[in-house]
Amino acid sequence: MNMEICAGTVEVHIDVSTESESDSIEIVDEFPRTRRRTDILKDLYDGKWMEAKQGEFSNIDLKAKSAGVEDGELQSMRKDQMNVLHEKVERRLKQLDIICAMPEKHRPAKLSDDIEAALIPYPKSEVLIHKFNIKITRRDIATLNSPNWLNDEVINFYMNLIMDRSMKNKRLPRVYVFSTFFYPKLYQSGHKSVDIFTYDILLIPIHLDVHWCMATVDFRKRCISYYDSMLGDNPECLKLILEYLEAEHLDKKKTPYKTAAWKLECPKNIPEQMNGSDCGVFSCTFAEFKSRLSPLDFTQEDMPYFRQRMVYEIIKGELLEEESMVEGIEEKREYWRR
């Protein structure tokens, strides 16, 4: 895989397709300063390359299923493969120093003792919290250190924090979250034991092998949205989710689900990722904001703050309360009555 990354004013090509540990970097030439950093970084996730990688992942998944591999073994295989890729990309991102600095407005005078203690890297296997039938170790929490990519455990735990808050706070929409392993197995996932139609919002993490996105289902607005911090499109994902809703409705309600009026969208006027490592944090933040009907008024510059905040919320086992959940709540209630 060749990646073009903005580092100062030079264009850098990195090859991570080889197993070599040489980490060679080739300086190609200067490019005009008018070239947008966003466009350069989008080359990290070239459309054809992403399709090829997604196809490889799907083939691995299907081969494992045909061989009768259990879910636990499948997840272990996937983690091993992702860890190898993560190490290579993270090593190169650190060498290029393309990570955005924390803005002054979000720079805390001092990290809380709890966060500092949680980010101590050893012993890696030490369990920091066990909740929602998920164990978060120091190895997992370390993925929240920039420029690391978030892993399945951190994202699944955070999604459960969002759902847990919605169950406890009756002022908020009822939210149901899916596991990160749901979408890759959507074709063979079967029916949920829970009735998803009793909820207001569904949150579905989408893992495209090397990129995280977030899909949402809003039953009141009859809308399925796909939030990609790289502003990509995924109509296949939207169609699959709609078909899943139709199948679930037929299973639970024994009647066809009327979806003709439903809207499928890939919003573009959303916060945009400006580096190669924050897609998981963006996806979790999209989910958290949408779960409380909040405008997506954050930027790439806020990601260091959200990384630290997620560390704190995970080790404490609950989300911090937002003032916006209290302010304007009557307007939000009226929205959900419609």
Distance of alpha carbon 95 from alpha carbon 27, whole angstroms: 13
Query: H helices within 71-228, ranges in order?
Result: 71-96, 113-118, 138-141, 152-168
Look up residue 109 and give its DSSP letter.
S
pLDDT at 93 over 60: no
Distance of alpha carbon 271 from alpha carbon 303, whole angstroms: 11
Q: In the prediction, which pLDDT does 189 show?
A: 58
SS3 state of residue 173: coil
User: Beta 263-265 vs 223-227: how paired, if at all?
Assistant: parallel
Q: What's the distance, Cα to Cα, between the start and end of the chain in Å?
A: 49
Q: Which residues are catalytic?
A: 211, 228, 279
State residue 53 phi and psi, 5-degree precision: -65, -40
SS3 state of residue 12: strand
Q: In the prediction, which pLDDT does 110 show?
A: 47
Q: In the prediction, which pLDDT does 194 show?
A: 86
List every span in the chain annotated with CATH 3.40.395.10: 104-337
Both tokens of residue 89? Answer: 């990309």
Distance of alpha carbon 213 from alpha carbon 54, whole angstroms: 14
Span 17-37, average pLDDT: 42
Q: In the prediction, which pLDDT does 163 show?
A: 97
Q: In the prediction, which pLDDT does 321 show?
A: 83
Span 22-26, average pLDDT: 43
Pick the CATH number of 104-337 from 3.20.20.450, 3.30.70.270, 3.40.395.10, 3.40.718.10: 3.40.395.10
Question: Which of 191-195, 212-216, 222-226 is the least confident region?
Answer: 191-195
